[in-house]
Amino acid sequence: MTVSKSDPTPDSRPAGPVLAVEGLSVSFLTDGRRATVVRDVSFEVAPGETLAIVGESGSGKSVTSLAVMGLLPPRVSRVEGRIRLMGRDLSSLSQTEMSAIRGRDMAMIFQEPMTSLNPVFTIGRQISESLVRHLGLTRSAARAETVRLLEKVRIPNAAARFDEYPHQFSGGMRQRVMIAMALASKPKLLIADEPTTALDVTIQGQILDLIKQLQEEENMSVLFITHDMGVVAEVADRTMVMYRGDVVETGTTRDVFHHGRHPYTRALLSAVPCLGEMGETTDPERFAVVDMETGERLPAAPVVGTVDRGEPPVLSVRDLVTRFDVRGGVFGRRTGAIHAVEGVSFDLHQGETLALVGESGCGKSTTGRSIMRLVEPVSGSVELDGFDVLDLGGSDLRRMRRSIQMIFQDPFASLNPRMTVGASVAEPFTTHRLGSRAEARDKAADLLERVGLSADMSSRYPHEFSGGQRQRIAIARALALDPKVIVADESVSALDVSIKAQVCNLLMDLQESLKIAFLFISHDMAVVERVSHRVAVMYLGEIVEIGPRAALFGNPQHPYTKKLIAAVPVPDPARRGIRRNLDVEELKSPVRPLGYRPPERRYRTVSPGHVVMEDTL
């Protein structure tokens, strides 16, 4: 893959901003009270410029963009201040005038490409219909224009895909369709609200490329809303940082990144892991903590001396295979199988973190679930702390679960909403009859303290906690049985950056004090580099490369590993002009026909412990 640079500044800048927002305040009416969620926000977007609004959940960044689009529900929200689009005051416009402007002068793309298209109409019809309505084209002209737009967003074989339905498109392709729809009327301003958050990292790279290319071709202004500092560094000319409804800092992206003044900006930046910053070190390293008052950065400590490679591994997986039947037809006969995990082998030592990385559908989560017997593997062997896991039944299986525990991705879904957190944390302890109720209560209180919460929170229910706190509760629950191994399945992916850093630090603290081994399943390469001792890269159900962290990141061998690493956005504004020139492609599917025999794989040892698959897939 080639990386080329182009001039980051657009060549012509006519006078006057495309979008000017002055003193914007938004408040919502909830339970009879007015809550202000955006306070006195002012900014401008020049022609051809990209302004990024960054912030964590609750910062008001999305509300700001919805206010600009005039999409806030009028009955419960109040918008104050002036919003001018190319000199025209939007607040004086009627609903009908406003909807004429939406989609013509400014267009929006959203986070969820899965839900923003109507599933019952073809892609071509959805785009051409708006062309007929807004631009008054004839049917045949609209069809030709639609195909041109689909080609413009680099959808391969556009003419043939005109008559396909949304479900026949992958997530990345759907986001391209959304962008094509947004571009249909050649808007002056494109508002992109987290457009790549739901996408896989290689697909994210392609979409970012596309937005940058289109912006140059059309000389369009972009208002880019995101929480990801890496993405900001890559796309934005200027950056505005929001925190709890206030703008705390605005400036050129370079200035914000290198000379950020506000403590929050610094905290946000130090919480963002930067791929490659770990260099040659072998141990995981905690995230630097920034004092929110002073903005001072406290040094980060590495996690040392937790692994003893002389001991036999605590978890040993050999040739693990898990497949799910695909059934079709009237009688539900087997028509094929999803080869979710195919011949996976690895060892995990006490006190060690092995990261399983890969994109959606690569089988990393299924690997974790198979090891815990939450799904039934087809073949292979799993040896955990003396248990032959795949051979266990009934009560032995339940006893085995004391040695391995799991932390899930979504802290809003992984706790029983109708159980107090104290009961939830104590439950593993009582289930395995490890002590009396009083002891269980003490244990729960102890664990809550341990994960940074207070013991008197145990009588509350999960909905009273924030996402980060809930994830701490989930960690406390996983610790209740003093497990040897914890499978952390995307456990920090759903959290805000600063919370993500804190939870990662907590996991590393626990590893140091309790010598826990983590199987850290993640798609986030930068976080993985920070927390792991060793890394395994998965693709279509197989491990294509495994090795010590420094070796794998410093000297990646497999083409897929290289592609994955290159696709990660790095929070460095110098990369603003970067073009990855990735091929437009989709992730392949692990669905195979009946009777498919997976090929024999050959592996090559690069350096001690660093093994790579010879086949390129």
Give contact residues for other proteins (rule: CB under 8 A). Answer: 30, 369, 372, 374, 397-399, 401-402, 405-406, 408-410, 413-420, 422-423, 426-428, 430-432, 437, 440-441, 444, 456, 458-461, 463-464, 474, 477, 480-481
Q: Are 237 and 8 in contact (CB under 8 A)?
A: yes
Length of the chain: 617
Q: Are 487 and 406 in contact (CB under 8 A)?
A: yes
At its nearest, how many Å lie between other proteins and the CB of residue 500? 18
Report the Cα–Cα distance between both ends of the chain, in Å, rounded.
17
* 367 class by beta-carbon count within 10 Å (0-12 exposed, 13-18 middle, 19+ buried): buried
To the nearest 10°, the Cα dihedral for 558, 562, 567, 568? 100
Task: Choose between 281 and 459: whose C-beta lies nearer to other proteins.
Answer: 459
Q: Are 315 and 371 in contact (CB under 8 A)?
A: yes
Q: How far apart are CA 354 and CA 338, in angstroms?
A: 25
Task: Choose between 326 and 455: whose C-beta lies nearer to other proteins.
Answer: 455
Closest by alpha carbon to 321, among 519, 598, 537?
598
Closest by alpha carbon to 22, among 55, 44, 49, 45?
44
At its nearest, how many Å lie between other proteins and the CB of residue 572? 35
At its nearest, how many Å lie between other proteins and the CB of residue 431? 5
At its nearest, how many Å lie between other proteins and the CB of residue 58? 18
Q: How far apart are CA 141 and CA 375, in angstroms?
A: 52
H helix runs in 535-609, sequence order: 549-554, 559-567
For residues 257-269, one letter each, b for 16 or more C-beta atoms within 10 angstroms of the residue's C-beta and e for the rest, the string is: beebebbbbbbbb
At its nearest, how many Å lie between other proteins and the CB of residue 74? 15
Phi, psi of 110 (to 5 degrees): -110, 175
At its nearest, how many Å lie between other proteins and the CB of residue 39? 23
At its nearest, how many Å lie between other proteins and the CB of residue 219? 42
Task: Choose between 156 and 386: whose C-beta lies nearer to other proteins.
Answer: 386
H helix runs in 360-463, sequence order: 364-371, 394-400, 421-431, 437-450
CB atoms within 10 A of CB 454: 9
Q: How far apart are CA 307 and CA 304, in angstroms?
A: 8
At its nearest, how many Å lie between other proteins and the CB of residue 235? 33
At its nearest, how many Å lie between other proteins and the CB of residue 337? 19
Residues contacting 11, CB < 8 A, separation 6+: none
Task: Choose between 19 and 406: whose C-beta lies nearer to other proteins.
Answer: 406
Task: Choose between 73 and 279: whose C-beta lies nearer to other proteins.
Answer: 73
Calculate helix-pair angle for 171-183, 139-152, nearest 10 degrees.
Answer: 120
Identity of the residue numbered 52: A
Task: Choose between 241 and 445: whose C-beta lies nearer to other proteins.
Answer: 445
Facing residues of 24 across strands?
41
Task: Choose between 207 and 510: whose C-beta lies nearer to other proteins.
Answer: 510
Task: Choose between 137 and 423: whose C-beta lies nearer to other proteins.
Answer: 423
Task: Choose between 269 and 371: whose C-beta lies nearer to other proteins.
Answer: 371
Task: Choose between 481 and 552: whose C-beta lies nearer to other proteins.
Answer: 481
Angle at 350 between CA 611 and CA 340, to 5 degrees: 50
Q: Which DSSP category does 285 fall into?
A: B
Task: Choose between 235 and 425: whose C-beta lies nearer to other proteins.
Answer: 425
At its nearest, how many Å lie between other proteins and the CB of residue 442? 11
Facing residues of 545 across strands?
537, 612
At its nearest, how many Å lie between other proteins and the CB of residue 402? 7
Q: How far apart are CA 284 and CA 519, in angstroms?
A: 14
To the nearest 10°, the Cα dihedral for 38, 39, 42, 47? 0
Task: Choose between 73 and 595: whose C-beta lies nearer to other proteins.
Answer: 73
Q: How far apart are CA 369 and CA 360, in angstroms?
A: 15
